[in-house]
Chain A
Amino acid sequence: MSIELKEVTYCYMPGTPYERYALRQVSVSIQDGSFTAIAGHTGSGKSTLVQHLNGLLQPSSGQVLVDGIDLKGSDKEARAAAKAARRRVGMVFQYPEQQLFEETVEKDVAFGPKNQGLDPGLVQGRVEEAMNLVGLDYASFRNRSPFQLSGGQKRRAAIAGVLALHPRYLVLDEPTAGLDPCGREDLIRMIQKLHRDWKLTIVFISHSMEDVARLADSVILMNHGECVIQDDPDTVFSRDDLLQAAGLRPPHIQRLLRKLQAAGVPVQTRAKNIEECLARIREGLKHAQ
């Protein structure tokens, strides 16, 4: 089980003076159960890439396979299969709270499953489950207006709307953008929980290399519409040449450890989070003495 992109090329407005290739020959795979990060600077093709994952965009050439099913169904039967496959991929856009529209949180979260024709008796269960998953207690939040929630809560309500569709893959485009440090941390913990306990495969776009280092087990690095490398974070962050060309820098923790190393403190520079960074510093200082 996985999402596979095979030599996907996408061109905006082909045949016009505005023709622009947003993706060129991108081949990447998102393994079932993985926590995959997509990194790259603005305009590198990240968002175009994720819109292919559930068929919102169809490749100009190449293939997108979700669990082996080509999203570009050729005949009626294949199209029905493709539609079912697309539903396995839940999409959370940037600033998803802008898409809230209903009078109550419950109605908003129920919109997707209802629209998919789910039995009304089952909808409520889905809504309750999804709201609890994102940490919005069903009993106390169901009748609240989504517009009177805080920024972080609104975002979680919007994510609940996607979770209520029971996706197998959850794709998030910069999920923490614009949140304060506290809200950012809460949301990250929630996504980790979905990955760990609910066995959701997570794909996320992020500008924060700190988050990528901390969370991801696979990194897709985009530059000028091409995937320049897909590998584990340690390998990707050791490729200064590729990062620099892509306009990115290694995580702050690793930059700091490298500065220490350059100053003559014998530290290892591999560290995913603050705890590991502290461990590297302690080891290095012990070594020096």
Chain B
Amino acid sequence: MSFIEFHDLTHCYNQGQENEYMAICGVNLSIEQGSFTVILGRNGSGKSTLAKHINGLLLPTSGVCLVDGRDTQDMDDLWAIRRQVGMVFQNPDNQLIAAVVEDDVAFGPENLGIAPQEIRSRVDEALKAVGMEKYKSFAPHLLSGGQKQRIAIAGALAMRTRCLVLDEPTAMLDPQGREEVLNTVRRLHDEQGITIVYITHFMEEAVAADRIVVMDQGRIQAEGTPREIFCEVEAMKAGGLDVPLAAELAWRLRREGMKLPGQIMTDEELVQALEAYGCPLS
């Protein structure tokens, strides 16, 4: 069942003005309930603009965005939509507002007027889900970038969100923080069936997805499984994007005439293929 649907979605910034800019041009896409979708594309391709439609931060200039069957342009439904879709942005320092971690996570449910005991259990549950329960009485500014992003995710979980939209959540993090955030997102997807829409410039992170959508100049340029997308090395490079290291190496070795299987994407697959190639008899 599709959870998010875009029908002929177009978004134009500054419409009718001199600096009018078409960020999205007629996108049709549906994102399944419980799926893990990665959106790739170069800067300015419309990824973030598209993501902001999912919880109605932006409304379509034309076309429709449906979330769980509700239209984001219907003001009566907007709050219900926002409860179901949590957003996490790039800069960990811009998203936390309270002086103590647990207060920050409680901010959303408090605003919904939920009973204090219920808030308590939601906050504990959310912090546990992102592996940050030990830090509940810390001040957010003392945490690392990866930990701050996990608190931001916990804030969305405390709203009992069914879908997380993450817009380059790891861009400002070090490798360790990046891994923490990606593992947390994967776990939430696997264990709680939360629908994930994940924007990133790191191709190695995109391998974790069920499906990849590639955007270019406001349009969908390609979609498919990570394997399908990353095997088109030439097309990806032409679009200013990259592929995982193993896919690139395999592609270049094949071009030199080496007979390697065509669908190599991970280090392990490449090692296995080269091992077999190097010692064909063993």
Contacts and interface: CB of A to CB of B under 8 A. Distances in A.
A74 interface: no
A42 B144 contact: yes
A285 interface: yes
Q: What bracket does the count of chain A residues touching chain B fall in? A: 35 or more
A41 interface: yes
B171 interface: yes
A16 interface: no
Contact of A150 (B43, B145, B275): B43
Nearest to A278: B252
Contact of B43 (A148, A151, A256): A151
A256 B266 CA distance: 10
A152 B144 contact: no
A68 interface: no
Interface in A117-141: none
Contacts of A277: 249
Interface string A233-257: 0000000000000011100110110
A285 B240 contact: no
Contacts of B242: 181
Contact of B271 (A179, A184, A252, A260): A260
Contact of B278 (A152, A184, A288): A288
Contact of A278 (B41, B90, B168, B253): B253
A152 B173 CA distance: 19
Interface in A7-47: 41-43
Nearest to A152: B43
Interface stretch (B26-34, B174-182, B190-198): B174-182
Given A41-B174, A178-B172, A278-B252, A256 B241 contact: no
Given A253-B245, A264-B279, A42 B90 contact: no
B79 interface: no
Contacts of A264: 275, 278-279
B19 interface: yes
B274 A260 contact: yes
B227 interface: no
B249 A274 contact: yes
Contacts of A253: 245
B248 interface: yes
B175 A285 contact: no
B44 interface: yes
Contact of B274 (A181, A209, A281): A281
Nearest to A41: B174
A259 interface: yes
17 contacts: A41-B177, A42-B176, A150-B43, A177-B172, A178-B171, A180-B41, A180-B201, A180-B240, A182-B42, A207-B173, A247-B174, A255-B267, A263-B275, A265-B275, A281-B249, A285-B274, A288-B279
Given A150-B44, A183-B42, A259-B267, 14 more contacts: A42-B174, A151-B43, A178-B168, A180-B42, A180-B241, A182-B42, A256-B246, A256-B267, A259-B271, A265-B275, A277-B249, A285-B274, A285-B278, A288-B279
Interface of B: 19, 41-44, 90, 144-146, 168, 171-177, 201, 203-204, 240-242, 245-246, 248-249, 252-253, 267-268, 270-272, 274-275, 277-279
Closest 8 A/B residue pairs (Cβ): A182-B240, A288-B278, A181-B242, A180-B42, A151-B43, A41-B174, A207-B174, A178-B171
